[in-house]
Every structure is written in structure tokens, then in C-alpha cells.
Amino acid sequence: MSWTATILTLFPEMFPGPLGQSLAGRALENGTWNCDVRDLRAFGLGRHNAVDDTPFGGGAGMVMRADVVDTALDSVSRQDGAPCVYLTPRGRPLAQADIRRYAAGPGVTLLCGRYEGVDERVLEARSIEQVSIGDYVLSGGETAALVLLDACVRLLPGVMGSAESGVEESFSDGLLEYPHYTRPAEWQGRTVPDVLLSGNHAAIARWRREQSERVTRERRPDLWAAHLSHSSSRPSVQE
């Protein structure tokens, strides 16, 4: 059974979208993963297949109905252990550790919000994980779902070649990755750090580690603080 992304959306035509291309597209074609898209409108109520209603308490916008979302979720035969995730700016920040967990399981069910979002009760009743892809507001959960899926699919066995191996990349050890360089060795007067041309693999590994620590410290003090508190080894670069 291949890894399955089940997507509940009002815009089914948005999938697989960009994930039909490149690494993810090849993996979709060869059956490494499967994209099962469900149109939420099909579960709507009445003559107009209504999926939303006005918010209790007043205010702008519409809210996706709990009963409609619940019926749609009932239609999904969830594989054992496949988590259900609602993409929302109110969720906890999506992290590479979540992606690794999702990719290691049988798949994910993704609920894509529209309008003001989904009635809170169905999220509570079904203990749905709530995840945000960043501190900004998108017009719908579909693009967030594509981001989550892209990150998962590339970790599935056989999707990345050795050339794209994820072993050393950003977040793999709680740090951002070191900078990369390729030919030419000099470009517009800018050279490549000497150590990378030295052939000294131990020195190169040391330099890369120092760069990872420097970049993380400068750009992501939150990750750096977490790294310092979790790491048993002393950092090689001073704060």
C-alpha cells in the first residue's frame, strides 16, 4: 500500500498541482505515493450543497460547517495511524520533525479551510492536529497542504536520489545548513572559501559545522537556543 495523501478541499483541481512535477511527480507516477482528493462540496447541504454558514456572534465572513466536514471525514477510510491535519494559521508551526513523523506513517488526511475557517467543534471532536505553515494568512489551506505534502513526499523511500539526500540538510540536526558553492571558483571577483578547495575532508567538515552554527545563531536565535539546550556537546563557535 503506497503512502496516501487524502485531501479534503473545495478546490480539488488544485491537486496534485506542482506535485505532479519533478521528484514528487515521478513518485506519484510510479506509485510511491497516492493523491486521493475529495471535493468537500459533494458533502454540502441542500439544493446548493452549502458547506458554510454565518458565524455565531456576528462579524464578517463565513464558517465551514462542522456537520459537513464531519460527514466528509467519515467518507475517508483512514488507514491505521494516519493523522488528520487541519491547515490553519492558528495551528502550531509545522516543523521538520512533524514532516518526518508524517512521512514515516501510512499517510495523512489534510483538511483545507476556506473563508474564516472551520467550526471549532469538529476539530475538537475528532482531535484533529492543527498546523500552520507560517505567520501569515493564505486565502485557503490548499497551498499550505501542498507545502506539507512536498516536504513529506521527498522523504519517502526512493524519492530522493543520493544526490539530493536529506541526511545533512537544514533542520536534520536542529541547525540550518552551511552555504554552498560550485564552479567557477572565482565569480565577479568573489572567491570560494579556501578550505573547500583544500581536499582536507576533516577541515571541510569542521568549517561546514561552524558555518551551520553561525548561520543558525545569526538568523534563527530560536533554533539556536533550542540547539544549545538540547545539545550535550559544546558548540564549536562561541556566542
Pick out the residues of the known binding site for S-adenosyl-L-methionine: 113, 133-138
Q: Pull the grid cell for residue 79.
A: 488507514
Find the part of the chain contacting ligand SAM (CB under 6 A) among 15-23, 36-44, 136-144, 190-198.
136-144
Determine, following the binding rule CB under 6 A, whether residue 14 of this chain makes contact with ligand SAM: no
Select 19 or 175, whichever has its Cβ closest to ligand SAM: 19
Determine, following the binding rule CB under 6 A, whether residue 44 of this chain makes contact with ligand SAM: no
Which of 16, 44, 83, 141 lies at the binding interface for ligand SAM (CB under 6 A)?
141
Which ranges of 5-140 does DSSP label H, i.e. alpha helix? 22-29, 66-74, 96-104, 120-125
Three-class secondary structure of residue 177 per DSSP = coil
Select 129 or 213, whichever has its Cβ closest to ligand SAM: 129
Pattern 100-119, ligand SAM, x by CB under 6 A: ------------xxx-xx--
> For residue 131, what are the β-bridge partners?
92
Nearest to 239, CA basis, from 169, 192, 231, 205: 231
Determine, following the binding rule CB under 6 A, whether residue 144 of this chain makes contact with ligand SAM: yes
| Residue corresponding to grid cell 524519492 | 159
Least separation in angstroms between residue 237's CB and ligand SAM is 32
How far from 35 is each of 1, 38, 112, 147, CA to CA, in Å?
Answer: 13, 10, 14, 14
CA distance linking residue 211 with residue 63, whole number of Å: 47
Which of 6, 9, 88, 109 lies at the binding interface for ligand SAM (CB under 6 A)?
88
Select 7 or 175, whichever has its Cβ closest to ligand SAM: 7
Q: Are strands 33-39 and 129-132 parallel, antiparallel or unpaired?
A: unpaired
Please give the residue ranges that form the binding site for ligand SAM (CB under 6 A): 87-90, 112-114, 116-117, 132-134, 136-141, 144
